[in-house]
A and B are shown apart, each in its own frame.
Chain A
Amino acid sequence: MYIRLKRGLNLRLAGKPANINIDRPAVSSVGLSGLDYPDVRPDFLVEQGQSVITGQPLLRDRRRPEIIVTSPAAGTVTGLTRRDPSTAAFFVGLSVSDVNPAEFNVPQDWRRGDAVSETLLASGLWSSFLERPFGRIPDPDGRPDAILVTAMPADELAPDPTVVLAGRAADFSTGIEALAHLADCPVHVCRAPGSEMAANSVVFSGVYPAGLPGTHIHHLCPSGSGSHVWTLNYQDVLAIGHLFNTEQLETHRIVTLAGPGVLIPTFLHVPLGADIEDLTRGRLREKYGRIVSGPFLSGRETKYLGRAHLEVCVQLSGPKEGHLSIFAHSNAVGPIIPIAAHQDTFPFDLPVVPLLRALVVGDSEMARDLGCLELIEEDVAVLSYICPSNNNYGPLLRSVLDELRDEL
């Protein structure tokens, strides 16, 4: 299937990696943030100062104890916070001594019964999944109506999947096979044009946000209608396939360090939650600005690489603002002026401006009727970017989604 998206925004980001050499920087510490494990309320299974091995459970969810978070590296626990004041989420910090993959027992007959979901839960790979609507980690006994594998860069700076997947066809196909055993539902692999990949893949062409899972779901199986769709990225599929093929828990991902603030944009092979300082040391320009983990528009400024983030974007420090108040950007929130770009940059067949107005006034019922259940924060980042009103629609959408979920 080939889906051509006409709407979107050409971000024209500078600083893509020019060659495909993959560096392996030394990482001294990793950090896991609750922001990447939405709705998980931690019951810590380790103590401060305890030494842990790769794949050891660090915490489990209080409400759904089958969901655990495992350690991406061997080392010592240096920080345990139930609720970090700046992010309102838990945090686990580790100082790293060894980053080799861990042995992990997989049942021989994993193709039968519930072995796949049990293995994914026990290995911590379950948290690769995000479920729509609401964008949370799916229930262990929940079953999706479809699974979408995002094998497409989120924006121009994210790694090209063909580079990452080169030579790993076996792991990828085993991963897809495992997903197919997980539930009796279609598994779609969403990819960019020109990349060779397995059968039953869907090609999406277009500019940002053509690479986001929300866009793919909207065109393949809209989730606003009571169906549940799980998404995960291709590197998590590789980790799943690797686990079932070799009984090794792979906790590394290949990410890009890119953007105009980077001296030589490059691919990096790093553990989940790697300290961004370790990744950027000696690689930035003198006048670097904001460092963002995740996609250029929807990532976050943080000390540690996010769970599903495949890129670290470094911008140049911006010009000083405030000289000419008329030309400078003010942070004040203004009215939504419904310009043509609202509809033309948003590849969803939803009434954009009425939806944004519903989000701003917090009318959750209207927002639901207009289709907000299909969206999570990253999908509306493009609207926050182009909207002249200066609103940040991600948090506003989350507040409406939380309200709708509480009503269920």
Chain B
Amino acid sequence: MRSLDARMSTARLPALRLHGWLSGPRIQLLFIVSLLPILGQSFVFYGEEVLPVLALSIAISVGWHALFARLRKQSLDFSSVVPAIIFAMVVPADAQLWQIALGISFGSVVGVHLFGGYGWNFLNPVAVALIFLVFSFPDASYGNTFPVAWQWCVPGTILLVFTGIISWRIILAAAGSSALALYLLTGSSSDAFLAVSGFAFVLVFVGCDPIATPSTNSGRWVYAILAGCLAALGLASGKPQTEVFISVVLLGGLFAPLIDFSMVRIQMWRRLRRNGARHG
């Protein structure tokens, strides 16, 4: 196998490098901009309570990133700030600071940096960090976080969808399927709406992470419907919201490569059948 550089240099066309404005670091910037209204509302509603959690979370996450970037001689970007902010929003309010430090450390090291940094990983670091806390400290009250009302997610969601970063298919299918499943399970439409609106923040900022979701559109539908139904099952059994959502997202992320693989196989099979007669 020839190296990437060798293949680039012997190609027929002189490589005209014309790129749009999207790049890994800029995706991170867009995520941060999308999180600004949410940060704003958390300062307004929870004030000083949220500040130490946020500061600690960001400091530790960036610290790990800086250490690994130095070891690997990579440049720093915002990719460690985004999960730190999201983590601070979903962490139990009564968690000790050292627990938070431990959680975000596990999330960034095991969830991202062991794989080579953001983009090379396959699970969302926030989901990894929180599931670590859930298993390590099962007594914490996961219902009691800094809840984010769905309205505050709207501007960020619009920005991320229109810049082509997250898929509206996931949002639509997950919200729709969980609401429908909850309605069928509980028979109450207001309960279903409440649960789904509580889902909004985690769904958009963790459940739509391009890294941890399928990369094919058909896979995205399957992933989202699966996650939505699982979330409805969890909620109907009375588990705390955050715990349910994060477990579902993590499970979905684990299955994403398998879902993608199956969808690609189906697509290849369909192509073969369509072109079948002349296939040679």
A interface list, Cβ under 8 A from B: 35, 38, 86-89, 145, 222, 224-227, 292, 296-301, 325-327, 329-331, 333-345, 349-354, 360-362, 369-371, 377, 381, 384-390, 392, 394-396, 398-399
**Contact across chains for B26 and A388 when beta carbons are under 8 A apart:** yes
Q: Nearest Cβ distance between residue B276 and chain A, in whole angstroms?
A: 8
**Which residue of B is nearest A84, CB measured?**
B14
**Contact across chains for A87 and B14 when beta carbons are under 8 A apart:** yes
- Is the contact region of chain A dominated by helix, strand, or loop, or is it mixed? loop
Determine, out of B47-55, B160-168, B180-188, B233-241, the stretch whose residues face the partner at the interface.
Answer: B160-168
Our pick among A338, A341, A342, A349 for the contact of B211 (Cβ within 8 Å) is A338
Between B1, B14, B27, B268, the greatest number of chain A beta carbons within 10 A of the residue's beta carbon is seen for B14
Our pick among A292, A340, A343, A377 for the contact of B13 (Cβ within 8 Å) is A377
Q: Nearest Cβ distance between residue B107 and chain A, in whole angstroms?
A: 18
- Is the contact region of chain B dominated by helix, strand, or loop, or is it mixed? loop
**Which residue of B is nearest A86, CB measured?**
B14
Separation of A336 and B29 alpha carbons in the complex (Å): 17
Nearest 7 Cβ contacts at the A-B interface: A341-B164, A335-B119, A225-B275, A395-B11, A338-B215, A226-B280, A353-B215
Within 8 A of A (CB), among B111-133: 116-120
**Contact across chains for B268 and A337 when beta carbons are under 8 A apart:** no
| B72 interface hit (Cβ, 8 Å) | no
Given contacts A338-B210, A345-B164, contact A399 B11 (CB under 8 A): yes
Which residues from B are CB-within-8-Å of A388? 22-24, 26-27
Separation of A300 and B10 alpha carbons in the complex (Å): 16
Count: A-B pairs, CB below 8 Å: 171
**Contact across chains for B14 and A398 when beta carbons are under 8 A apart:** no
Q: Nearest Cβ distance between residue A358 and chain B, in whole angstroms?
A: 10
**Contact across chains for A390 and B216 when beta carbons are under 8 A apart:** no
| B8 interface hit (Cβ, 8 Å) | yes
Which residues from B are CB-within-8-Å of A385? 18-20
Separation of A224 and B168 alpha carbons in the complex (Å): 31
Which residues from A are CB-within-8-Å of B267? 349-351
Besides the known contacts A337-B119, A340-B167, A399-B11, 4 further A-B residue pairs in the complex with CB atoms under 8 A apart: A329-B19, A338-B210, A392-B17, A395-B15
Separation of A89 and B10 alpha carbons in the complex (Å): 11
Within 8 A of A (CB), among B166-218: 166-169, 210-211, 213, 215-217
**Contact across chains for B164 and A339 when beta carbons are under 8 A apart:** yes
Which residues from A are CB-within-8-Å of B117? 335
